[in-house]
Homo-oligomer: A and B are copies of this chain.
């Protein structure tokens, strides 16, 4: 920056001013500006963000932690969030939680040391206390994605799980005539398992149907998880006619086990799942799912975060519920 100033024949602080024109309320003559821009051009100067950060105490970076890079659910969200970050001239530090508590804690520590100006995360194991301790120490705004975080300073996006599952299971019962419905949930009661299970239970109860304990299986968010769950369900003496899975990958795993065992979908089992990822339309039959608009969730999450970063919003954490819609394809038939 000194070199630029020297070449332009001005002081270094003037260069800094023209570079941060918005923040400085001081007017600068067009002529000086031109000289400076020419010098910058000639030298190919790029400001050093490290130095700027040290001074301003803002890093122009946000951190995003996703549950699992392998899960297509997160891709549109990350992409959209990255797009809005770019609008604000922010970079994004992405981290892979892989659903491990250790990774989630390390992520927080990294965010603290680095530090970042804001965080988007999908905490699966982190407790409210973990988050609270972090926020007390750092004051970095956090928005949580699809988690049941109850914290006065954390904005939450998601939480359509309970009602959406209720509607979907009710649809399976009322419109499609199923009465024996299995549920593939999430191991260790990680989010978003519990609200979806509760939506399922409520729908069953409201319809006056009994829930057979063997019909509820809790597994990981993976194809293998779905396979495991379905194998167990298939061993029931009187198996369900429909399966609601919390997650597309698990639904696909379940479908594959059933097909490999000689069953036909949807003739022998109807399968339905949550979140419309590309795999849902690759698979045959195509999956009927509860779909949320993932790119717009990504947008929303990032915009909410920047409201905090820019200080436009202060005060207690807010809760945003995203829309959903039922996409009917081929994996469910009427009983």
Q: Which A positions have Cβ atoms within 8 angstroms of B? A: 44, 46-51, 53-54, 59, 61, 69-70, 72, 75-76, 78-79, 82, 86, 91-96, 98, 106, 109-110, 112-115, 137, 223, 252, 256, 278-279, 282-284
Taking a contact as CB atoms under 8 Å apart, the answer to whether B95 and A93 are in contact is: no
Q: Which residue, of A72, A78, A95, A114, has the highest number of chain B Cβ atoms within 10 A?
A: A114
Which of B48, B109, B137, B283 makes the CB contact (< 8 A) with A115? B48
With A47-B113, A54-B51, A278-B223 as given contacts, are A95 and B92 in contact (CB-CB < 8 Å)? yes
Shortest A194–chain B CB gap in Å is 27
Contacts of A86 in B (CB 8 A): 106
Number of copies: 2
What residue in chain B is nearest A63 (Cβ atoms)? B91
Residue on B with the closest CB to A114? B49
Contact for A78 among B69, B112, B115, B252, CB less than 8 A = B69
Q: How far is the CB of A162 from chain B (nearest CB, A)?
A: 29
Q: Which of B49, B59, B137, B283 contacts A283 (CB 8 A)?
A: B283
- Kindly list chain B residues whose C-beta atoms are within 8 Å of the C-beta of A115: 48-50
B96 to A93, Cβ gap below 8 A? Answer: no
Between A and B, 12 residue pairs with Cβ closer than 8 Å are A46-B109, A46-B112, A50-B53, A61-B93, A72-B72, A82-B96, A91-B93, A92-B94, A93-B93, A278-B279, A279-B282, A283-B283
In angstroms, Cα B76 to Cα A223, docked, is 16
CB distance from A53 to the nearest CB of B (A): 5
